């Protein structure tokens, strides 16, 4: 198996594994917080969309794009799309969005550490 085949197999395994989730009580029902699911990695094309916004000094848009790209339902389908950008920027509490993305990153780091043991 070539190095490229090993690299693509490793990434395929990573993104095809079990979805992780973050609880968002503010967006759920009483006694039933919303679960936002996500994969532990995104590809270069998705990262490029986020980085392009940062390079244009559009930090808020980059953060929201991260949520749009990463946030999935329990079936692995995107719960937001790029047409939701303006509403997410203007009508959603930024601290909640930041907390969701922070928890996603923390959970990914913890999962990586568990795999090493």
pLDDT score at 52: 96
Predicted TM-score of the model (pTM): 0.84
Q: How many C-beta neighbours within 10 Å does residue 70 have? A: 23
C-alpha torsion sign, points 92, 94, 96, 97: positive
* Structure confidence by residue, pLDDT tens digits, 13-42: 877 878 999 999 999 999 999 999 999 889
How would you classify residue 31: left for phi > 0, otherwise alpha for psi between -120 and 50, otherwise beta?
A: left
Residue 89 has pLDDT above 70, yes or no: yes
* Structure confidence by residue, pLDDT tens digits, 95-117: 999 999 999 987 655 545 544 55
Angle, CA of 45, 50 and 51, to the nearest 5°: 90
Nearest Cα to 46, choosing from 75, 67, 72, 17?
67
pLDDT score at 12: 85
pLDDT (average), residues 90-94: 98
* Structure confidence by residue, pLDDT tens digits, 39-65: 988 999 999 999 999 999 999 999 999
Domains, the chain, in order of start with CATH, read 3-116 (3.30.2220.20)
Which of 64-68, 85-89, 110-114 is least confident?
110-114
pLDDT score at 17: 77
Query: Who's near 97: CB < 8 A, 6+ residues apart?
Result: 63, 64, 67, 88
């Amino acid at each position: 198996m070539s190095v490229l085949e090993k690299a693509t197999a490793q990434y395929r395994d990573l993104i095809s594994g079990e979805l992780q989730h973050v609880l968002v009580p503010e967006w759920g029902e009483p006694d039933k917080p919303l679960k936002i699911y996500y994969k532990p990695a995104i590809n270069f094309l998705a990262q490029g969309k986020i980085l392009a916004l940062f390079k244009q000094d559009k930090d808020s848009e980059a953060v929201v794009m991260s949520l749009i790209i990463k946030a999935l339902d329990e079936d692995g389908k995107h719960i937001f799309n790029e047409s939701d950008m303006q509403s997410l920027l203007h009508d959603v509490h930024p601290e909640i969005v930041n907390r969701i993305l922070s928890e996603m990153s923390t959970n990914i780091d913890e999962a990586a550490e568990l795999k090493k043991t």
